[in-house]
């Protein structure tokens, strides 16, 4: 089944990042529309991000992570209050896993499996 998934790892402590708000949006002709939102669990995964009613289609998508809220909740200073990841889906029949590797002063991402 085709879908979009994500997880967040806090590489500064070597653990999953629990409690990160995540929003998934799809770019339309003129603006972005929300597809779904969720909160990462204790494993750093956002298991309910995309509603079952959403039909994956080609186009541009954006995941936005509320990293400022996460670091505030863990009583740590950070530099990036949000992390937006914009990516393009060409084949809507594939699974797209977009992880976020996070630290208070940097981040990286990649297309996972």
pLDDT tens-digit map of 16-64: 999 999 999 999 999 999 999 999 999 999 988 989 888 999 999 999 9
Domains in the chain, CATH or no CATH each: 3-109 (2.60.40.180)
Q: Structure tokens of 55?
A: 């039909």
Can you tell me the distance from the alpha carbon of 45 to that of 38, in angstroms, rounded to the nearest whole number?
9
pLDDT tens track for 76-101 = 999 999 999 999 999 999 999 999 99
Indicate the pTM of the whole model.
0.95
- CA proximity to 45, closest of 59, 65, 72: 65
């Amino acid at each position: 089944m085709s879908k979009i998934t994500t997880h967040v790892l806090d590489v500064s402590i070597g653990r999953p990042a629990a409690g990160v708000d995540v929003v998934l949006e799809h770019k339309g002709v003129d603006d972005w529309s929300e597809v779904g939102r969720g909160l990462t669990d204790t494993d750093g995964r956002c298991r309910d991000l995309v509603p079952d009613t959403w039909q994956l289609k080609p186009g541009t998508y954006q995941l936005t992570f509320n990293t400022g809220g996460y670091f505030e909740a863990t009583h740590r200073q950070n530099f990036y209050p949000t992390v937006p990841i914009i990516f393009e889906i060409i084949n809507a029949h594939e699974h797209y896993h977009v992880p976020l590797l996070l630290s208070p002063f940097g981040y990286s991402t990649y297309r996972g499996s």
